[in-house]
Chains A and B, each alone.
Chain A
Amino acid sequence: MTALLSRFGTALAGFLVLLFFGAFAENFASPGNLSLILKDTAFLAVLAIGFTLALATAELDLSIADVASLAAVVTGALIQGGTMPALAVLAGLATGLGAGLVNGFAVTVLGVPSLIATLGTAAVARGFGFMITQGVAFVGRWPREFTGLARGSLLGVSNMIWWMAAIGLLAWVLLKRTRTGLHMLATGEADEAARLAGIRTRRMKRLGLALAGLLAGVTAVLLAASLSSAAPNMAGDHFLYAIAAVLLGMTMIEPGRPNIPGTLLAAFMLKALGNGLVLLGAPYYAQDIALGVIITGSVALSSTVMRRAAFTKRLNLRAAA
């Protein structure tokens, strides 16, 4: 019972909030609105999955949003200039991956804590973004080939949902079903023990940060395709949301541990919360306040849940002995 509550307690609380919106916010529960929320969740989810993978190795990537904005701008500039969409997409992904590799190098080779290193990368990325655009947005009638990546649909389901599902599944398989994923988690949870067991912990950290960068690039491409535009700071709104999704996700499914299903569920809950607040006519700043409370509250909760789980285990042991 306690175990169930610690695994699904916050998910349950989130569900109750959704019920509340369903009852009091007109239209909230309409299929149209729900699928809108789901599509909106997709951008956030892809970005947050990257953050989850970096956090699995106990590294923070605070650069994801600014890197995503830069990657979107790079892609947009190329599309605007008439480059083949495939090449523009590759350039966007490479921008994200490149930033992730730089973060990994700074953290594992130069020994800069990720909190600082990724903050530096974020500032640099933002600067480049403004440099490329000169402060204005790229907007245009972009080729269908490109915009279709985000706007099209398959079997009646929006491509965005497919992207989220596919990337979520891949990340989940990586983290839970492969040696590499286990090594990433071990690196995050017991760095020295993992190293002594023969795991290349620094390589795992580099991998986590590289994937976070790459997924920021993916988010960027999808954002640009969906909006037919690219602007510096276009992913900025997703920054706090992504962090909140990962931390809230850590209070679910596998409490205390970054996990993909938790991140996805939390991303949806947060987007639904934002949507519900808007529908209820809450002022625009209510979302920021809610996110802030959720970020701190989630961490407080997962650290106490963790402690309690360890505590109960010890009690059981004594009872059995």
Chain B
Amino acid sequence: MSEALLSLRGVRKAYGAVEAVRGVDLDIGAGEVLALCGDNGAGKSSLVKVIAGAQAASSGTMTLRGREVAFHSPEDALRGGIATIYQDLALAPRMSIAENVFLGSELTRGPLGLPFPRLLDRRRMMTEALGYLQRLNPALTDMARPVEGLSGGQRQAVAIARALRWKAELVIMDEPTAALGVRETAQVLDLIRRLRGEGRAVLLVSHSMADVCAVATRVAIMKAGHKVIDRTVAGLDPDMLAHMIMTGQGTEVAPAG
């Protein structure tokens, strides 16, 4: 990884007195799947929100494609080519699947082929949303259904489809398989490999050691707001990884048992 797509230096995030992220350096390169692991409350989602522009960092710098950036809103990050699937999914429950997939990046057309005024192209959004979801959850066919009636896994598919929609260079996924069954998980892992194959970068937050070992190229481990480990995944198995997360050290520690 010679040229990092995104670099963080000394990033901190405090919520009042709670210091969630305490000075993290992190580099993510194109074609890389970086797994971000750590116990509950380690600061993973907080770090993700800073990168995604959802929350401002308390201090530290971010460099995107060699240029220092400051995201003041999620819109800035999206425009910068960073799309995020949030842990709580961030869907609009009463809006339809298609509306949620295209929220913030709707398709428009001029009436009767005119260039103006731009009106929503609901029909095309329905068909394209179906296209995005087909790979993730083929059972979802009615794009007009409101999201509030969907199961957890179906919602997750909608959230993932929305992030794909942005064709971002860096896709951040905060526990994307948390609500998924075996088959759906496999589909998401496939998707991550595909993104990597397209030369994009993926930042994957996950508690599943198996998922991390299956798709990640590198793993960073956080503990109490600090990054304690950052190494390649090559040569790691899920047990070793779990041990590293628990102890916060031990690349050279042999696997127990």
Using a CB–CB cutoff of 8 Å, the interface residues on chain A facing chain B are 173, 176-179, 182-183, 185-186, 189-190, 192-200, 256-257, 310, 313-314, 316-317
Contacts and interface: CB of A to CB of B under 8 A. Distances in A.
Given A186-B103, A189-B92, A196 B84 contact: yes
A194 B86 contact: no
Given A190-B92, A197-B103, 16 more contacts: A177-B120, A178-B108, A178-B117, A182-B99, A182-B103, A183-B104, A190-B93, A194-B104, A196-B90, A197-B90, A198-B78, A199-B75, A199-B104, A256-B94, A310-B148, A316-B149
A314 B75 CA distance: 33
A194 B119 contact: no
A186 B120 CA distance: 14
A192 B89 CA distance: 11
Interface in B102-153: 103-106, 108, 117-120, 145-146, 148-151
Interface residues of B, number: 32
Interface of B: 52, 54, 73-75, 78-79, 84, 86, 90-95, 99, 103-106, 108, 117-120, 145-146, 148-151, 162
Given A195-B74, A196-B54, A182 B90 contact: no
Given A182-B99, A198-B74, A198-B105, A190 B91 contact: yes
A196 B166 CA distance: 13
Which residue among B52, B84, B149 has the maximum number of chain A CB atoms within 10 Å of its CB?
B149
A37 to B, nearest CB: 33
Interface of A is mostly: helix
Contacts, number: 81
A172 to B, nearest CB: 12
A168 B120 CA distance: 18
A199 B149 contact: no
A275 B99 CA distance: 41
A274 B185 CA distance: 60
Nearest to A310: B148
Given A177-B120, A179-B120, A313-B145, A197 B104 contact: yes
Contacts of A182: 99, 103, 106, 120
A186 B119 contact: no
Contact of A177 (B84, B94, B105, B119): B119
A183 B95 CA distance: 11
Give the residue among A182, A195, A196, A313 with the most B Cβ atoms within 10 A.
A196
A316 to B, nearest CB: 8
Given A196-B84, A199-B104, A313 B94 contact: no
A256 B146 CA distance: 13
B118 A178 contact: yes
Given A179-B120, A186-B103, A199-B104, A194 B148 contact: no
A189 B94 contact: yes
A313 B75 contact: no
Contacts of A317: 149-151
B104 A178 contact: no
A126 B151 CA distance: 51
Contact of A193 (B79, B84, B103, B151): B103
B92 A193 contact: yes
A177 B117 CA distance: 10
Given A179-B108, A186-B103, A313 B149 contact: yes
Contacts of B120: 176-179, 182
